[in-house]
Each structure stands twice: as structure tokens, then as C-alpha cells.
Amino acid sequence: MPDRTDHFFAGELHATIAPGGSLTIVASTAATPSLNGEEAFAKRQNEAHALLDRFFWANAGAAETPSGAVQQLALAADQFIAARPVEGAPDAKTILAGYPWFSDWGRDTMVSLPGLCLATGRPWLARNILRTFSRFVSEGMLPNEFPRAGAAPMYNSVDAALWYFEAVRQYFESTNDVGLLHELFPVLDGILDAHVRGTRYHIRVDPADGLLFAGEPGVQLTWMDARVSGREVTPRTGKPVEVNALWLNAAASMARFARTLGQDAARYEGLAQNACTGFAKFWSAEKNFCFDVLDAPGSPAGQDAALRPNQIFAVSLPETALTPEQQRAVVDVCARELLTSFGLRSLARGEPGYHARYAGSPEERDGAYHQGTVWGWLLGPFALAHLRVYQNPSVAMSFLEPMLGHIRAAGLGTASEIFDGDPPFAPNGCVAQAWTVGETLRAWRAITSGRTKEDATRRASAA
């Protein structure tokens, strides 16, 4: 960043602490904060115990007692929950994407919500956040960045609204809260309808194949959204693979929601079936994995065949259009070419434009952001995709172990945003990232549930 800047200098503190003594420094936004350090520390300990009690309650059926590292991630999850009062909802909550510099983003919020709220035994927080974001749906889209007081929301994300469906699905499966489902159903129906009819940035369902198209020059609508000097580093205009995996799951979820509420599900079933049929176009028989983008302007035959991690969602999400053999091939190629100790590379090492290090000037860092840099949040979906294909909870859990050790290495007690693409996979970016913490917790919970079933099967066989 620039080497000259202005900082507000609030003051200077000097103190001498004798051996065995202590000093309490109070920094607060409260008008009359308590100055009792011991009291504040005891209060914080009680809050931590309460968080862990909820976490243990929510995971009472787990096959193993959560390790100290897993418990620490459950505590870290609470650090991302923040107040975001809006008109008519003074108690509204949101999720901050990362520290020290991210605010709340629609995509990050919906990806991390199940892990941060449901896996930690706080469904009421998930409910609050889902309702809060529903107030800001516009033309079938969720804000990319949640609007601050007096600011206009920015609707420049194709997948935030689709991740919203997945967050609602996981919330309902966890709570069976028909009341909230009934409340949100018209919002969800409006989102699907806008995508079918077409909305901003040429986002629309292609009637020829049932797949979702998105993009136009000058905008980055997927999570790979870095720009350098006005240029898209990873242009993904067209039909991105993870967007269409999410679209298929959104339509399938709506069909289930409609049936739950006693409504006609035929329209949603038709959208899901069309997307499932059209998804076959993503498979490259030559590469034996999925194209990253279809109908991509400027790509040979309109197909971007670069090996990226986005296809893992075609296996990790509940509904898949891939055959069992194709699912295994996707998991295997990701394991062979993209998997690292702390997540998946955003681009395979053998691909043109691969960056081994996230370093240098802001422009150089942005150029590497999705061009090889490892993303921690992708570790969870990979572990769950591996579990789906190989049905081995012990192996799936092993993929999470390095991340659980990482909490002692960078932002202590939490998990980083990104890592270098080459060994030793140095952590970088935000020292605390919501979806890295959330997806690790979500995967841990899902895998321990699978391990419980595995142990039960073993006991039955032994008997």
C-alpha cells in the first residue's frame, strides 16, 4: 500500500508494571465503561463457556469429543457476528467477512452462515440473518456488500442469491422451521423468477439448455472477482460451473420447499431437471473433469478448460448432475492438482498464469488472488465431496487436521483467508476469515455425523 498516509493519533500511554503486578487498559465504545478488569475478564470467560455449552449441545451426537482446536474455532465463529441495525429491525445481525479489513458481503455471509451459526448451536442467529438479508433482495439479487447506513447497496454478485437458497436449505434441515420457510418462500420464488426472466448484467437462464448465464464486460460477478487496472484478472463471463451447480440446487430446494408448504412444485422440478440435463455440457471427456466456464467469450469453442476448484461444488452440494464416475474423477483431479494442506489452489500449477506466491504490490497481489493462491474455505467442500465419493469419514477428517493446527500459526485462535500456492503454503490475506472458519466447522460436523454412522455399522457387523 502507499508508504505515506494519515493516521489519527489518539494519545500515548505510559505505565510501569512491577513484577507480579498487572495493568488494565480499557478501550470501549460505551459511554460509561466498566474499569474493573477482573470483572470484564470473568464476563468474557462466562460468555466463552456459554458458547461452548451451545456447541457441545448442538453436536451431542458427534462420534468424537471436539478437540481443543475445534472448540477454539467455535469460539472464533462468534467474532464474525455483528450488529447491523436496519429500519424496522433494530436487532438485525450480520456476518463480517474477515478481519482486519472486510465488512459484510452477501456471498461470504451465506457461505459461512451454516458453520458459524448452525454448527455452533445458534439457529436463532441464522434466522435473524436470513430475514435481515431478505429485506435487501432486488431484481432477484442479494447485495454483494451489505449497505451501511445511508449507503446504496451494490448488486454485482451472481452467486450471493444462490448461496442464499443453500443457507435457507441448511437452516430448514437443521430446525424444521416451517414458519420462516413460509415467510421467505415468496422472496425465494421471486429470486428464481428474476433469474428465469433475466436481471442485471445479463444474468438469465438460457432456455436452450436450462443453464444460467451471467456477465458483461467490466464486471466480475463470481467469487473470483479481482481486477487490476480495470482489467478482470479471471474473466468468467458465460456459464460458470459452480454458479450452475448452485442454480440446480436452488431449483431442487425450491421444489422441496414447495412440497413442504403444500404448494405446486412442478415449475421448480422442471427448472431443476433442465439444469441437470444441461449440466452434462460441462463435462470434458478429453480432460476428464469439468470445464470452468461454458459459452465464455474469447475462449476456444466458448469453453474455459482451465483446471480450477469451482467444479468441486458439483460434487459437494446435495444435488449433482454428474455420474458417480465423474464425481470421483472431479475429486481425484482436485486432490492431485489443487489440494494443499490448507485448502484448494485457485488454479492448477501447470496452467498458464499460475502464481506460486501471493506477494508484492497491491496489483501483483490482486493478480495472484485467484491465479493459484490457496483458499481456506474450499477445504470444507473438498472434504465433504471426498466423503460423498469414498464414504470414508476418517480420511475426510484427515483433510481438516492441518487447518485445525493452523489456528496456532497466524491469526492466533482463528483461520486465515488465503495461503501461497506453493510450499510451505504461507498464510496471507485476512488473519481471520469467516468462511474459512465456518466451512471448517460445517465440514467437521458433517464428517463426525458420518463417522457416527460408520461406527454404528461396524458395531452391527461385529455383532
DSSP, res 313: H
> What is the domain partition of the chain in residue ranges?
338-463
Q: Picking from 58-62, 253-257, 286-290, 350-354, which range would have the lowest pLDDT averaged per residue?
A: 58-62
Residue 1, pLDDT score: 62
Residue 333, pLDDT score: 98
pLDDT in tens, 88-130: 899 999 999 999 989 999 999 999 999 999 999 999 999 999 9
Instruction: Identify the band that residue 302 occupies on the pLDDT scale cut at 50, 70 and 90.
Output: confident
Give me 1's grid cell: 500500500
Residue 2, pLDDT score: 62
Residue 458, pLDDT score: 43
Q: Helix 178-197 to helix 160-175 angle, to the nearest 10 degrees?
A: 160
pLDDT in tens, 259-301: 999 999 999 999 999 999 999 999 999 999 999 999 998 777 8
Q: Where are the beta strands (DSSP E) in 31-102?
A: 81-83, 93-95, 98-99
pTM of the model: 0.93
Give me 39's grid cell: 470483572
Contacts of 48 (CB under 8 A, 6+ apart): 75
Instruction: Identify the band that residue 12 occupies on the pLDDT scale cut at 50, 70 and 90.
Output: confident
Compute the average pLDDT of residues 422-445: 97
Q: Cα(339)–Cα(352) distance, rounded to whole angstroms? A: 18
Pairing mode of beta strands 293-294, 339-340: unpaired
Is 60 exceeded by the pLDDT of residue 135?
A: yes
Question: How many CB atoms are located within 10 Å of the residue 11 CB?
Answer: 4
User: 322 by DSSP, 3-state: which?
Assistant: coil
Question: How many CB atoms are located within 10 Å of the residue 189 CB?
Answer: 16
Tell me which of 19 and 1 has the higher pLDDT: 19
408-414, long-range: CB within 8 Å, 24+ apart, which pairs?
Answer: 411/99, 413/72, 413/75, 413/76, 414/73, 414/76, 414/79
- Single out the residue of 209, 202, 369, 227 nearest to residue 274, CA to CA: 209
Yes or no: say if 172 and 181 are a contact pair by the CB < 8 Å rule.
yes
Is 70 exceeded by the pLDDT of residue 169?
A: yes
Question: How many CB atoms are located within 10 Å of the residue 287 CB?
Answer: 14
pLDDT in tens, 22-61: 898 988 888 999 899 899 999 999 999 999 999 999 999 8
For all residues of the chain together, what is the average pLDDT? 93
Q: Give how far the C-alpha of residue 187 lies from the chain's centroid of Cα atoms, to the nearest Å.
A: 21
Q: Cα(20)–Cα(39) distance, rounded to whole angstroms? A: 19
Q: Cα(246)–Cα(162) distance, rounded to whole angstroms? A: 6
Greatest pairwise CA separation for the chain in angstroms? 77
Q: Cα(415)–Cα(427) distance, rounded to whole angstroms? A: 9
Residue 46, pLDDT score: 97
Give me 321's grid cell: 448432475
Residue 145, pLDDT score: 84
Report the percentage of the chain scoring pLDDT > 90. 82
Pairing mode of beta strands 432-433, 418-419: unpaired
